[in-house]
Structure 1
Amino acid sequence: MKHSHYFNQNASDKKITDIPYLLLEKDNFIIHYIQSLQQIFGLQQSISQKILELKFEEILLYLADKYGMVFLNYLRYLLINERELSFKMVIEKNLYTNLNIDEMAFLCNMSASTFKRKFISIYQESPGKWFQQKRLNKAKELLHNNQVTPSEIFMDFGYGSLSNFSAAFKNEFGYSPNHIHSN
């Protein structure tokens, strides 16, 4: 089978994203390529970096020649997806810090406006609202488990004062954080 196919990640998404995958035909070249790798790795010796680079280059050139733009488009998708993954890793790593949007944008090597556009395209929500909701949910969890008091955590979740934290918490959940801690 010699083609690339596209499918929808999630049909219920507002923005449908096509994710390509490439089906490779198991031909004589591929069979011999795999056998040559098995022989190289079967030698139980240290394999030189140069040989590995040449083998990698060999398969890439073969696939580019055989599948043309379909293969190159697939590679482009992989690179774009890796950048998105890198972006998401920065977000996840700093989710429960008190960094503001400008600081997060800096960590992603973007302007604040580019960061906001990228964030919305990935998470379908503004970064401020998304971070606030995630951080308040984490604060609620910590408070429910009696691990902290509101006055101990408000700054950790990006609030300049206990009253701002309490107001945002009450707006999100319908009751104040002190209500959890006092019960």
Structure 2
Amino acid sequence: MKFRLRHSASLFAIVLVGACGAMSLDGQKENVPGVRNFTRVDGSIACGGSTEPSAAAELARRGYRTIVSLREDGEAGAVTAEMDQAARAAGLRFVHIPMSAQSPSDGAASAALAALRDGGNSPVFIYDASGSRAAAVLMIKRMLVDAWPEDRAYSEAVMIGLASPSLKAFALDYVARHR
């Protein structure tokens, strides 16, 4: 009996340490040259803010397969054509889904969600100017696809960079209409 209890306690400790180690990988802020506010969310998704084309090679080196840009062409600092070219030169896919920060559309959110769900794209780096739109899209994914409760999905989105009350409202409304 003592052996079984000791063995069970040891196994529990190993599982607990392993689980805590795995959790520490999620939501990790990292310094990636050319990427503002880079957050590795988990093994399949990272989010960020303003991203320079020069970052594509580093993202490829880190194992990302796809870059998804939510920036609109008219945004200050948006370099869509250059990012597309740099991504392809680094061997990455580039997906451009213009999503307005002021009035996001269901179409853009659905397209971004589809890009995140496409296993052929994984791992994915998704970005916009600040990371707020990317965080809102991830919040939608967490609630609709991963079945996370709102408070958990929102907490993660804030950690990533969601700062806009209107983007939060859009994400919650989108989830309510697509459940």
Task: Report the TM range for the smaller structure's normalisation.
Answer: under 0.3
The one of the two structures with greater contact order (alpha-carbon pairs below 8 A, sep at least 6) is 2
Structure-2-length-normalised TM-score: 0.27
Structure-1-length-normalised TM-score: 0.27
- Structure with a larger share of its residues in helix: 1
In our comparison, the structure showing a higher alpha carbon Rg is: 1
